[in-house]
């Protein structure tokens, strides 16, 4: 069982430590999205230096290329990628359900590779097997994510997610026993709560997931800060306090991190910060700016004078603007370092503020400045 210590609680929010075989994660924490076993534009060294405690890779992408067997052959994703800290894998459910022409059955999902059109099928069992082969510390259950506002659609997806969760758990336990027999490090399973924006479905899903007794929980299908507080309140009031909760995919907007932490989420992952960075949209305490805008051409001040990242300590907005305009790779590197540092630091500060009882002040001050409301 994954060890998780809750050090302090404030309402639903908590400060804790997740102990994984590859190290501890002090929570709340932002987990960098490393879809193809790399954080785009960044090296693992840069990720370590900007303070990232953990990263999250994606089973769908790694199944297509290079394949779980190759990663196993490399000695697991830690050796393969040189990320020797805690690591998550997402199940691939999210990606598969965003592809065109997927065939969903009770057994699993048939889809075509977006790369070469090759036919694939992923089932709860095959996702578990792939994740064990990849070898991250924490695995997500293979879930059905419905992108719909319709209650019936959400119910069907949730019921399927639950049925698949039972199978994920059985397969996971089997693989876990085999690993123990071979003296391999333990890997852990998070159940994924679905139910869309419907509180009764969310409650039902949280209850179901809790009863399965996984190592922790992913909260899926959350797309906007809208209604997020209510959804999280419902779910996290039901989920057991002694297990970690990961809010899947949220964190592009800093407010998501505050609301997520306030309502009891321990970790977050999001592609937003690095994608924004590659497209020139950069976080500052006063809101996001587009560094490509002409007004930064002659701005010889740091991107964020309060930031301690390599980008802000050494370069100016004018230089970043120039690098983006001439489309240099370094533009994306520096921007990614900054944006990733910005969200990691924001969540670190959320943790500190929860520790010393100043969360409300920090939240109010941050949001007021960032969103100018």
Partner RNA sequence: GCUGGAAUCGUCUAGUGGCAAUGACAAGAGACUGUAAAUCUCUCGCCUUCGGGCUUCGUAGGUUCGAGUCCUACUUCCAGCA
| Distance between start and end Cα atoms, the chain | 44
Closest CA to 304 of 292, 287, 321: 287
Q: Please, what is the minimum distance in Å from the beta carbon of residue 183 to RNA?
A: 30
Output 16 or 220, the one with its CB closest to RNA: 220
Output 199 or 290, the one with its CB closest to RNA: 290
Residue window 145-174: x/- pattern of binding to RNA, with contact defined by CB under 7 A: x-----------------------------
CA distance 55 to 44: 10
Catalytic residue among 90, 137, 256, 304: 90
Q: Which of 241, 325, 348, 352 binds RNA (CB under 7 A)?
A: 325
Stretch that binds RNA, among 5-13, 98-106, 180-188, 354-362 (CB under 7 A): 98-106
**Distances, alpha carbon 223 to alpha carbons 16, 99, 202, 264, 270, in Å:** 25, 18, 14, 17, 11
Q: By CB under 7 A, is residue 320 in contact with RNA?
A: no
Stretch that binds RNA, among 22-30, 43-51, 93-101, 234-242 (CB under 7 A): 93-101
Q: Please give the full DSSP string across 239-266, using - where no structure is assigned.
A: S-TTS-EEETT--SSHHHHHHHHHTT--
Q: Which of 125, 256, 262, 266 binds RNA (CB under 7 A)?
A: 256
Q: Please, what is the minimum distance in Å from the beta carbon of residue 33 to RNA?
A: 4
Q: By CB under 7 A, is residue 110 in contact with RNA?
A: no
Output 110 or 184, the one with its CB closest to RNA: 110
Output 332 or 351, the one with its CB closest to RNA: 332
269 is catalytic: yes
Residue 135 phi, psi dihedral angles, 5° rounding: 90, 25
Q: By CB under 7 A, is residue 330 in contact with RNA?
A: no
Helix (H) / strand (E) containing 354: helix 329-355
Q: By CB under 7 A, is residue 94 in contact with RNA?
A: yes
Half-sphere exposure of 190 (CA within 13 A, CB side): 30
Q: By CB under 7 A, is residue 262 in contact with RNA?
A: no
Q: By CB under 7 A, is residue 99 in contact with RNA?
A: yes
Output 76 or 220, the one with its CB closest to RNA: 220
Residue 118 phi, psi dihedral angles, 5° rounding: -60, 145
Q: By CB under 7 A, is residue 278 in contact with RNA?
A: yes
CA distance 331 to 69: 35
Q: Which of 85, 93, 124, 135 binds RNA (CB under 7 A)?
A: 93
Residue window 211-250: x/- pattern of binding to RNA, with contact defined by CB under 7 A: -------x-xx-xxx----------------------xxx
Instruction: List the beta strands (DSSP E) in the chain.
Output: 3-10, 13-20, 23-27, 29-33, 55-58, 87-90, 103-104, 109-112, 119-122, 138-140, 188-193, 216-219, 245-247, 267-270, 281-284, 287-290
CB 111 within 8 A of CB 103: yes
Q: Please give the full DSSP string across 143-190, using - where no structure is assigned.
A: ------S-HHHHHHHHHHHHHHHHHHHHHHHHHHHHHHHTTPPP-EEE
Strands ordered across the beta sheet of 3-10: 3-10, 13-20, 23-27
153 is catalytic: no
Classify residue 310 as left (phi > 0), alpha (psi -120 to 50) or beta: alpha
- Among positions 16-45, residues that touch RNA (CB under 7 A) are 33, 35, 39-40
Stretch that binds RNA, among 77-85, 235-243, 274-282, 308-316 (CB under 7 A): 274-282
Enumerate binding residues for RNA (CB under 7 A).
Answer: 33, 35, 39-40, 56, 58, 61, 90-91, 93-95, 98-100, 114, 140, 143, 145, 192, 218, 220-221, 223-225, 248-253, 256, 269-272, 274-276, 278-281, 290, 292-295, 297, 325, 327, 329, 332
**Which residues form the catalytic set?**
90, 269
């Amino acid at each position: 069982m994954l060890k998780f210590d809750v050090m302090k609680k404030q309402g639903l929010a908590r400060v804790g430590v997740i102990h994984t075989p590859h190290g501890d994660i002090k929570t709340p924490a932002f987990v960098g999205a490393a879809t193809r076993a790399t954080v785009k534009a960044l090296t693992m060294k840069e990720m370590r230096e900007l303070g990232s405690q953990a990263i999250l890779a994606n089973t769908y992408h790694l199944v297509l290329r290079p394949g779980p067997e190759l990663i196993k052959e490399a000695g697991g994703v830690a050796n393969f990628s040189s990320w020797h800290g805690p690591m998550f894998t997402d199940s691939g459910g999210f990606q598969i359900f965003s592809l065109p022409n997927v065939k969903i059955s009770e057994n699993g999902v048939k889809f075509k590779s977006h790369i070469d059109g090759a036919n694939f099928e992923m089932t709860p069992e095959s996702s578990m097997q792939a994740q064990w082969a990849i070898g991250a510390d924490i695995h997500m259950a293979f879930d059905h994510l419905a992108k719909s506002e319709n209650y019936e659609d959400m119910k069907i997806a949730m019921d399927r997610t639950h049925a698949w969760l039972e199978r994920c758990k059985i397969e996971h336990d089997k693989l876990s026993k085999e690993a123990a027999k071979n003296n391999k490090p333990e890997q852990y399973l998070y159940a994924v709560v679905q139910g869309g924006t419907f509180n009764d479905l969310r409650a039902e899903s949280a209850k179901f997931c809790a009863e399965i007794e996984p190592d922790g929980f992913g909260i899926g299908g959350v797309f906007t800060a809208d209604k997020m507080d209510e959804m999280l309140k419902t779910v996290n009031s039901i989920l057991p306090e002694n297990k970690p909760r990961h809010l899947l995919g949220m964190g592009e907007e800093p407010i998501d991190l505050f609301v997520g932490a306030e309502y009891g989420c321990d970790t977050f992952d999001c592609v937003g910060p690095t994608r924004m960075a590659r497209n020139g949209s950069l976080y500052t305490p006063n809101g996001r700016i587009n560094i490509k805008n002409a007004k930064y051409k002659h701005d010889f001040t740091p991107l964020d004078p309060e930031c301690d990242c390599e980008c802000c300590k050494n370069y100016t907005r004018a230089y970043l603007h120039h690098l983006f305009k001439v489309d240099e790779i370094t533009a994306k590197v520096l921007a990614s370092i900054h944006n990733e540092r910005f969200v990691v630091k924001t969540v670190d500060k959320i943790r500190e503020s929860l520790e010393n009882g100043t969360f409300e002040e920090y939240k109010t001050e941050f949001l007021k400045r960032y969103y100018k409301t």
